[in-house]
Chain A
Amino acid sequence: MQSDVIIETRNLTKVYRDFWGRQKVQALKALDLEIHRGEIFGLLGPNGSGKTTTMKLLLGLLFPTSGKALLFGKDASDVAKNERIGYLPEESYLYRFLNAEETLDFYGRLFNMSPKVRRQRVAQLINLVGLDMAKRRQLKEYSKGMTRRIGLAQALINDPELILLDEPTSGLDPIGTRNMKDLILDLRNQGKTIVMCSHLLADVQDVCDRIGILYQGELQELGRVDSLLEMQDVTEIRTTGLTKEAESEIQAIVEKHQGRVLGVGHPTSTLEDLFLNIIAESEAHPGRRVRAGEAADGS
């Protein structure tokens, strides 16, 4: 039976030292963490909090000063674990002189895939990330968003069980961001485990099941997103079709029960939703959507 714990860190500590062995900074302090199969885990924290260091320790790119990092029950320095891992680095560190097909084929060969499997997988992933039109262009000609997409494709080349994403939505436009988030959720639904670190809290909130918040190398908070964000002493009722009178009656009832109405109003959609709706509608009905006069009125 497969273990439910995919990632486990025990007292994981990293101290950066200079050439002479003198301590420069303690980037991570005794991190104890467990990440389970099939969840999306978000690592949050300000710059220098230890998110990327944790990620690099999990990948074996850095060696822990003390403690252990285990993936699939194996030490992070074990090469064999990489068979089951996909990694999207923060800046998509790829060979810019290769094109998309060559890039994916190269990484496929690193997984010892046969030429036939590689061909299928490369075509499938290029289609998935929407780079069919640019698959023969060298990566140096790619925009940042395209580079992120090919970066994601290389992370998925081996159909990994565990995917580590470092700032997955950075550099993406709202559509790309939404696609990325949808893809992350889709991967989770396929049973994969995802660990992501991001500065964009809204993105983390949208997709993550659990989060850990790091500050100055220490884990400050850990738990499910919904329970962490839940405000126990505030009650929210969302309805449609209420008249002004009905709202007044409800407020009266709340006060009667010693409650305090914090606000009554109409919720707004997110800018992301508005933007995506407009784009979707524009694609469905090409042509100018807003006339100059209307735009001025609107402003």
Chain B
Amino acid sequence: MVLEKEIPAFLSWILPAALGWLIVVGALVAAALVLAVVFATIRRGPVRGITSVFNAVVATFVDVFSMSPRRIMALAWLAVKESIRKKVVVAVAVFIVVLMLAGWFLDPNSTNPGRLYLSFVMTTTSYLVLLLALFLSVFSLPGDMKSKTLHTVVTKPVRHSEIILGRIIGFTLVCTALLVVMGALSFGFVIKGLDHGHTLASADLHPASGEAAEGGENVPLVGMTSNEHGHRHEVYVDPSGATRTRLENGHTHTVTVEGSGDTATYRVGPPEGVLVARVPIRGTLRFRDPKGFDKDEGINVGDEWFYRSYIQGGTDAAAIWSFSGLKESDFPGERVPLEMTLGVFRTHKGEITREIQGSLSLRNPDTGLMVEIEIFESKEFITQKLWIPKHINEVSYSQVISRRVPRENGMEFIPPEDQLDKTLAKKSEYDLFQDLITPDGCVEVWIQCIEPGQHFGAAQPDLYLRAGDASVPLNFVKGFYGIWLQVVIVTSFGVMFSTFLSGAVAMVGTIGVLIAGFYAEQLVELGVGPKYGGGPFESFRRLVAQDNVMTELAPGLGTDLVKMADKILQPGLQGMSMILPPFKDFGCAAFVANGFDIPGDFILTRTVMALGFFVPLFIIGYLFLRNREVAR
């Protein structure tokens, strides 16, 4: 799974994030206060102007902190009733129709049907519910103002803050109910769509070794199941009777055997592992260059996407993941599972159908002992699962080496060369947790490309240890929680805009913010000064003149002007990127669809982020509503 942004630990994220939030909100408040004082002074003179602004600030605090839960819930209930009157349940009907159509078009025979089905239902649900949240939130208040029903509400002891909060809660409740229904329908749809069985008869099996069978020995049997959903599984029947299928299309089946010999009957169970919620233990990635020196990055093979860095094959170059805090108790069983999705870059075609070979080694960072675990064939675009035995008794290659880190004052060896115990490499057997993992649970996983002229690409999330899996339904719920957070943000923006804009304009405003928020990263890049092609003005000039983004513009007045305009625009873009919701960051569909547990830190950070947008939007909406004439 591509994870371009590292998920920070909540506790290390919250303080800087809160500080950043306070700075941005503080700047906005200060700007608003200055403007308010200026306008009030112009209209009423300095003393009365400042007094009125002060009174307004006090009234804001009173209105926000003395809200009545009963009134808020009454207004929320009204919003729910209004939504029902607007027939929001039609959205569920639309969703059911979409699912029925999808049942025809989604291909369960694809190589990863789980990902296909999950990403489809989550994307469809989020589009439908977000669209609904948008429509409900932007048209409600303007509708009430137009029909004047708001007159009978604001002439009751209702605070404007309660009107805003009641609306947001009401519409969020409606969308929550829809999400629950759609989530249940989606989960049922995915389970049903992926469910399949295979048949297996005694005749489909034959001895793994022909000679041994003739000798009358009790030998293992192998065979293939029937073809269902576009695939069949290889089956291995152990002499003891234990039966399993090989992994195919990301899943296996349990096979139960009744009877023995030719009269044995085989029952193939439902697919297992088609839906998973892996809990990866991730390490930090560094690289080793062909000369054996540590580097932060590998080489650039010309890919425009900088996600992966590459290592050359047939050299000392390696991609090294450092893990820490590993405990034997986290890995029940005899082997530690490791999964990876490497990129491959070929400088010569070779035999195109043959995979590129690489090696997996482990190194103890304290002793320097490094043991090769496995030679593997890389599989592009597919997550490979490798197993690290806890007891390594087939050692093909081992060595004791230091880590070589270039420093300003020379090379640092960790551990120092003279402290290396070279005899460690002479053992014929190793214990994973005794010899290769340090007492505090640290180990390095080295991936190297064996074939000269070929390259492996690696990014930090590409390789992880898989200690165990989380609950799939719970992960599904967490995925929907991500959509729910987006609903809260959309509703808050919609209601906020609707306090001072007409319904249609509020909708355009909200959509505009969402689109801009979706590209917030690009705005940040434009704000800080893009690497290539210049800012908006320079880019536009290049577009019109069909100039290459890499070439320098010809010096002259035009160039100076566009560069100056970009410089002027930069602070504005930076400011905008700070207040726009990074909408893309809330998406959880990729986690669920790719079979990864959504980390608690991700959920916590996104929840706080959503809250960070909700609070200012609520206050802004309240201020706009309070300061507008409801009866105009």
Contact = CB atoms under 8 A, between A and B. Distances in A.
B631 A56 contact: yes
Given A60-B154, A93-B148, A95-B82, 18 more contacts: A60-B155, A61-B154, A61-B155, A62-B632, A79-B159, A82-B158, A83-B157, A85-B155, A87-B151, A93-B149, A94-B152, A95-B81, A95-B149, A97-B81, A97-B85, A110-B71, A112-B68, A154-B152
A26 to B, nearest CB: 15
Q: Closest 10 A-B residue pairs measured CB to CB? A: A109-B74, A61-B631, A93-B148, A97-B85, A110-B156, A82-B157, A87-B155, A56-B631, A83-B157, A93-B149
Contacts of B154: 60-61
28 contacts: A56-B631, A59-B151, A59-B155, A61-B154, A61-B630, A62-B629, A63-B629, A82-B156, A82-B157, A83-B157, A87-B152, A89-B151, A91-B148, A93-B149, A93-B150, A93-B152, A95-B78, A97-B85, A106-B77, A107-B152, A109-B70, A109-B71, A109-B73, A110-B156, A110-B158, A111-B157, A112-B68, A112-B157
Q: How large is the interface on B (under 10, 10 to 19, 20 to 34, 35 or more residues)?
A: 20 to 34
Nearest to A98: B81
Nearest to A115: B70
Contacts of A61: 151, 154-155, 629-631
Given A62-B631, A109-B70, A89 B152 contact: yes
Contact of A106 (B78, B85, B631): B78
A80 B629 contact: no
B497 to A, nearest CB: 18
A83 B68 CA distance: 13
Contacts, number: 74
Contacts of A98: 81
Interface string A51-77: 000001001111100000000000000
Interface string B146-173: 0111111111111100000000000000
A80 B156 CA distance: 9
* Interface SS, B side: helix
Interface of B: 63, 68, 70-71, 73-75, 77-78, 81-82, 85, 147-159, 629-632
A82 B155 contact: yes
A91 B629 CA distance: 19
Interface of A: 56, 59-63, 79-80, 82-83, 85, 87, 89, 91, 93-95, 97-98, 102, 106-107, 109-112, 154, 158
B68 A97 contact: no
B85 to A, nearest CB: 4
Nearest to A83: B157
Contacts of B151: 59, 61, 87, 89, 93
Contacts of B71: 109-110, 112
A32 to B, nearest CB: 21
Given A61-B151, A61-B630, A111 B78 contact: no
Contacts of B82: 95, 97
Contacts of B632: 62
A111 B147 CA distance: 22
Contacts of B70: 109, 112
| Residue from the set B70, B155, B158 with the largest chain A CB neighbour count within 10 Å | B155
A110 B629 contact: no
A106 B78 CA distance: 8
A93 B630 contact: no
A79 B158 contact: yes
B157 A110 contact: yes
A247 B147 CA distance: 60
Nearest to A103: B152
Contacts of A82: 155-158
Contacts of B153: 110
Nearest to B150: A93
Contacts of B148: 89, 91, 93
B20 to A, nearest CB: 35
Nearest to B86: A97
Contacts of B152: 87, 89, 93-94, 107, 154
Nearest to A53: B631
B155 A94 contact: no
